[in-house]
């Protein structure tokens, strides 16, 4: 009786590939999932302090809110976003300058973000880090 040729993929090879893919997926997720949020232990900015003109210059704060609008100005690579912040007194709006080095982050309207800001002269908040929520 003649023997048949085996031309299929061996089951051991399929199982080995599946185990490797699963290990790579879960290993990568475990490594990337443990990134520390550098803005989690910072002070949240008080909108009443911003509106009252309290001196906040050269300090870093965290702002959480929904992007209401994005503004561009000519050839300037920076952009300004209007954040709608839910405060105890109601909805407040805060303009935050996004410098050119952070514009590669895809900032979408109607999305919530936690933005780490440094207040520069004239009370203008400038983003130093952006995390989507």
Judge whether residue 63 has pLDDT over 70. yes
pLDDT score at 41? 62
Buried b / exposed e across 85-117, counting CB within 10 Å, b at 16+?
beeeeeebebebbbeeebeeeebeeeeebbbbb
Q: What is the pLDDT of residues 75-109, one digit of tens each?
A: 878 888 999 988 777 888 888 999 888 877 788 88
Report yes or no on whether pTM surpasses 0.75: no
Quote the pLDDT of residue 67: 92
CATH of 47-132, one of 1.50.10.20, 3.20.20.10, 3.40.710.10, 2.40.50.140: 2.40.50.140
The domain limits of the chain are 47-132
Half-sphere exposure of 65 (CA within 13 A, CB side): 25
- Summarised one tens digit per residue, pLDDT across range 27-61 is 877 777 655 555 556 667 777 666 665 667 777 88
């Amino acid at each position: 009786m003649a023997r048949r040729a085996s031309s299929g993929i061996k089951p051991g090879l399929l199982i080995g590939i599946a185990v490797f893919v699963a290990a790579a997926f879960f290993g990568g997720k475990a490594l990337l999932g443990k990134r520390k949020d550098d803005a989690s232990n910072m002070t949240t900015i008080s909108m009443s302090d911003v509106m009252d003109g309290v001196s906040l210059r050269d300090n870093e704060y965290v702002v959480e809110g929904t992007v209401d609008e994005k503004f561009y100005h000519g050839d300037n690579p920076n952009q300004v976003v209007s954040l709608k912040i839910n405060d105890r007194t109601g909805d407040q709006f805060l303009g935050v300058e996004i410098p050119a080095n952070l514009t590669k982050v895809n900032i979408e309207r109607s999305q919530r973000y936690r933005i780490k800001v440094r207040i520069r002269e004239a009370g203008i908040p400038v983003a130093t880090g952006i995390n989507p929520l």
